[in-house]
Amino acid sequence: MVKKENNTDQLITYILKGIEEVKGKDIQILDLREIENTVCDYFIICNGTSNTQVNAIVNSIQKIVSKGLKDKPWHVEGTDNSEWVLIDYVNIVVHVFQKHIREYYDIEGLWGDAKSTTIETNY
């Protein structure tokens, strides 16, 4: 069990690095482990300012995770219009939004019971 937890922490670190590398905004981590019947342990949510930046964030995350952990996402969805891209690493699901789509779907509100951590960025 320790290995999974350690691997999860590493994966979160690499995902955050991938987001920050291309200046993803409003980064939140939702810890879903205390909630029953969830599909994963964590959501990492961020947004970009355009479909170009959303794609850049998605590509950066995949590149950095692949390089650092030799890990590929189980599934990626939404790259056709790049308004909301979901990257599924099984126990961590990353949501990369354009701001207006993120506000519309309000995932943080839907998962209000989750412990939320805001990641401060310096850009």
Provide the whole-model pTM: 0.94
Asked which of 4-8, 39-43, 100-104, 113-117 is least confident by mean pLDDT, the reply is 4-8
Confidence at residue 24, expressed as pLDDT on a 0 to 100 scale: 98
Residue-wise pLDDT for 50-105, tens only, equals: 999 999 999 999 999 999 999 999 999 999 999 999 999 999 999 999 999 999 99
Cβ 44 vs Cβ 15: under 8 Å:
yes
CA nearest to 8, candidates 48, 45, 44, 60:
44
Q: Identify the pLDDT of residue 4.
A: 57
d(CA 6, CA 95): 22
Q: Which two tokens stand for residue 88?
A: 């599924």
Mean pLDDT of the 101-110 span: 96
Q: Is it the case that residue 8 has pLDDT exceeding 80?
A: yes
Q: Are 11 and 65 in contact (CB under 8 A)?
A: yes
End-to-end CA distance of the chain: 36
* Class of the domain covering 2-119: alpha beta
Which tokens in the block code for residue 8?
Answer: 């999860």
What CA–CA distance (Å, rounded) separates 44 from 92?
A: 7
Structure tokens at 81: 């219009």
Q: Where are the domains of the chain?
A: 2-119
Helix (H, G, I), strand (E, B) or coil at 26: strand
Find, among 118, 107, 97, the residue nearest to 39 by Cα.
107
Q: How far apart are CA 60 and CA 49, in angstroms?
A: 15
